[in-house]
Amino acid sequence: MQGTISQIVALVVEGNAALRGTPSNGLSDQHSTMTFCEFVRFVDLAKTATGWSERPIADSPNAWFQYLLERNITALHMAYGPSEDPNVDGKTVTDRMLVGFVGGGGRWLIQADKPNGSDYWESRWSVGDQKRQDQRIWHVTYGRIARNRPVSLRDEPDLAALRDELAAVLKDIGEFASEQRLDGFAKCFERALEDLFAESDFNGFHKDLANPELIPLIAIQLLSAAQSAWVFGGMGSWNDLGFEGEVQDRYEQLSEALYSIINQAIVGATNSSAPQLRSSVGVRAAGGAAKQRPWWKIFG
């Protein structure tokens, strides 16, 4: 799972714990999603005649949680939507193929609900001092890009249905990987299948996301599987493979299916931490298909 995505997962899960008053360690700089960050700060954005201005709000996630609590924020949700017709050199490229780039792979936001609407926050990652011995090279800023947007109620995501669909896709793509003698990738998919029904042993780098006090076991299973099956990236990743004819067509179909269902699983699992689920892009309604509304419909 991309570091930019996993950090939003942690912010939403730990933020909801703070809003509920649930005992938690919060999100200190020792959390795995903060390992390579020099700072993670939060600002209010305002459009001016010459561009955007920033007003500092909080200089750490825990300070931001306190800010939200003092302003009657009731819940946080992860929101995901596809890029608007991404293209490279004039050719349309899927989000799966762009996910290896910072800012690529679709758009991920944090939706902060309050009694009179929702605010939206988006991150910006930039490189600081690349020679730091502690490798904390990333400067991360979350800006509030919209406020007081209308929120419509939606049923909670059907995590069991998400797990079943992810399992089916993992089985199919795992068989494909084995047929093509891609043993390393086949093991990733096999491990992800095991994660989906494991009672313990959260796999992946971000083991501190697996807090049973903050999210249910099935959400932990989905996040663990998402980390194990996240094979997307740049050179040397699953995206870097190529075949011919029908095999290539099958590869493309399975790859897009996996990318789609993993993103849905991440969103659904993360949002299970919220005390009351409200609509957010990319979340599956119970018994229905995932809906991916264009962003202009949210911010228009």
As to burial, measured by CB atoms within 10 angstroms (0-12 exposed, 13-18 middle, 19+ buried), residue 255 is buried
Residues 212-271: tens digit of each pLDDT:
888 999 999 999 999 999 999 877 898 889 999 999 999 999 999 999 999 999 999 999
As to burial, measured by CB atoms within 10 angstroms (0-12 exposed, 13-18 middle, 19+ buried), residue 1 is buried
Given a cut of 90, is residue 27 above it in pLDDT? no
**8 Å CB contact between 197 and 171:** no
According to DSSP, the residues that pair with 112 across neighbouring strands are 76, 119
Given a cut of 90, is residue 151 above it in pLDDT? no
As to burial, measured by CB atoms within 10 angstroms (0-12 exposed, 13-18 middle, 19+ buried), residue 172 is middle
Band (153; pLDDT cuts 50, 70, 90): low
Q: Which of 79, 87, 60 is nearest to 141 (CA)?
A: 60
Compute how many other C-beta atoms are within 10 angstroms of the C-beta atom of residue 278.
17
Measured CA to CA, the distance from residue 197 to residue 143 in angstroms comes to: 37
Mean pLDDT for 175-195 is 96
**Residue 249, helix vs strand vs coil:** helix
Of the listed ranges 5-9, 46-50, 174-178, 260-264, the least confidently predicted one is 46-50
**8 Å CB contact between 46 and 85:** no
pTM for the whole thing? 0.86
The pLDDT score that the predictor gives to residue 300 is 43
Residues 59-102: tens digit of each pLDDT:
999 999 999 999 999 999 999 887 765 555 555 678 787 776 66
